Structure 1
């Protein structure tokens, strides 16, 4: 990231409280926003004067909004269309875009995620000076490449499945238990459709979560991660309230229940064999915008609601299309680098 990058994003996003709102919608929905009512639509391109707003589409959903203009007001309007802003929000956004630090950074081109949640990306670049200044901006979905996720043995489902799910979870998180008991069971029951990977993200506020994560990795070393995870979540109300000193013996009991070699399990667990691996998984999660658990990615896209079948369908359509969302977005972002 270039110097001042995070400051640049902070300035722009002072009004961008609904970022991501129009991404993953149909082109008709995005083009039909009130703030674009004066633009002429042809296909997926909207025009007014020397301003063009291009909707980048994959799988019949909008994955990016590309703006070219000589007007800061129209630049704000185009960005606002990607974020579903109201007319009343645009003056503040325009003022933020006009900040000298923003314009100085934009002269060499800028690309970054919009916030720490990392669901979207924004790019800005200017050319020319004074009255001849031209602006390019792009707001798009963030599609993380496979290389951003660490290798894990905790995988279930066919390698040929069209959809890859990556779950960052905490065994002591009640919402993770809800996911495991509902959505995750559905994904597990459809191995031809979903290949699911589990990553450890124990939260420090859950005092037994780290121990459970290490225990599950020791189970994984014996090829029993999924059965052991099932036991952990099934017994959630039993082990989560325990004093940490009482947890190891209970986790050993669960190892026996899951069919593990209990002695080997305890040797692994007592030595904290997988602590470094778990730490690496946490770092990887933070790098792709994990802020809490559960966080679920579908084909590299961070889901806002993993239980929303409509959202999963839209992301599936865009990420498996030809060209895919990632291909479309990466091609556009090359203009800013």
Structure 2
């Protein structure tokens, strides 16, 4: 999170969960907030005097809130709609919006991520001076483009599938094994519905995770990533407690069992042929807000709970609607650049 967004989020006592949850509400729920009681609704547009709050809706979910206001107080209220704030929480947000550095940034136009998990964003802009000043703001979910994710050979599912899943995982992470044994099996069984990309994100706290990631990439070089990944998770209890010095031999044993050429595999593993690739995947993961494993993105949206069918359905509806969440948000953000 950049300094301006951090200042505003702190003023509103905002957490990633509260901002994210509010933005995914239905337009009816968002419009019914108490801080909008004096606003007149015309569809997804709410007006009071010279202030307009427009709800950008995709798949019957609010994915963005666009505010046009003539005062900082009205600007704060509009942002509060996107963040689900109460009347009592607005004064502090208003005070921070009036800070000189915020007002200076707004004159140039600014777009920043709202939280360190990179789930939401805020944009601000002002025009005019003195009594003629007009403010615009936009609070929206963050939809990452395909270009934000690194290249990987580790892909399964139809290229024509409507949903793209991108998984950042760690072979020594117990929660990743849980995901692999449950949700990932369901996604694999539905290749026409899901195209799944696997990315390496070995955590430093797991001493054998990086070696396992390298081994899986060596298996991938022989066209056997998914079978080898299955073998690693199936043998999770056996290899994860081992001393690092004993790991290469064990990983080679799994390669032989999976039908890989052992000499080629061993040479790949001992030369650390894929270290730079794994490092690049970790770096890219951090850039899109990965903070732990597993982290799953559906059509560019970071999921709060990848096993929640309702969340997957909601994100699917918003990202595949016409216009899509990404199209609506990108069009709004052009106003702030």
State if a TM-score over 0.5 links the two structures.
yes
Matches within 5 A, 1:288-307: 288-307=288-307
What are the superposed Cα offsets for residues 21-80 of structure 1, whole Å, 9 maximum, x if unpaired? Answer: 211221111111122122111100011111110000112211100000112122111111
Q: Does 1:260 align with 2:260?
A: yes
Determine the structure 1 residue equivalent to 2:78.
78
Q: Which of 9, 12, 16 lines up with 1:13 in the alignment?
A: 9
Residues 122-160 of structure 1, C-alpha deviations (whole Å, 9 max, x = no match): 100011122221110000011111111111110010000
SS in 1 for 2:140: strand
Contact 1:157–1:192 at 8 Å: present in 2 too?
yes
Partner residue in 1 for 2:315: 315
Maintained 8 Å contact 2:2/2:113:
no
Alpha-carbon distance between aligned partners in 2 of 1:130 and 1:23, rounded to the nearest angstrom = 32
Report if the CA contact (8 A) 2:69-2:75 is conserved: yes
**TM-score, normalised by the number of residues in structure 1:** 0.97
Partner of 2:201: 201
Distance in 1 (alpha carbons) for counterparts of 2:83 and 2:5: 14
Mapped pair 1:190 → 2:190: yes
Deviations 1:233-283 (A, max 9, x none): 111111111110011111111112222112211111011010000001111
Partner of 1:113: 113
CA distance in 1 between counterparts of 2:121 and 2:60 reads: 20
How many residues get paired? Answer: 333
Query: Is the contact between residue 216 and residue 228 of structure 2 (CA under 8 Å) also seen in structure 1?
Result: yes
Cα distance between partner residues in 2 of 1:153 and 1:128: 51
Separation in 1, partners of 2:313, 2:272: 40
1:1-337 aligned at under 5 Å gives the runs: 6-14=2-10, 15=12, 16-17=14-15, 18-337=18-337
Q: Which runs of 5+ in 2 are unaligned?
A: none
Deviates further, 120-129 or 31-40: 31-40
Shift of 1:83: 1.1
**Residues 21 and 82 of structure 1 are in contact (CA less than 8 Å); yes or no, is this contact kept in structure 2?**
no
Whether the 8 Å CA contact 2:163–2:298 is kept in 1: the answer is yes
Displacement after TM superposition at 1:167 (Å): 0.2
CA-atom RMSD in angstroms: 1.1
Cα shift at 1:86: 1.9
Contact 2:199/2:281, CA 8 A, preserved across alignment: yes
SS of the residue corresponding to residue 117 of structure 1 reads coil
TM (norm. structure 2) is 0.97
The 10-residue stretch of structure 1 (161-170 or 86-95) with the greater mean CA deviation from structure 2: 86-95
The answer to whether the 8 Å contact 1:121/1:141 transfers is yes
Structure-2 separation of matches of 1:306 and 1:145: 19
Which runs of 5 or more structure 1 residues have no equivalent in the other structure? none
Moved more, 267-276 or 81-90: 81-90
- Kept in 2, the 8 Å contact 1:20–1:82? The answer is no
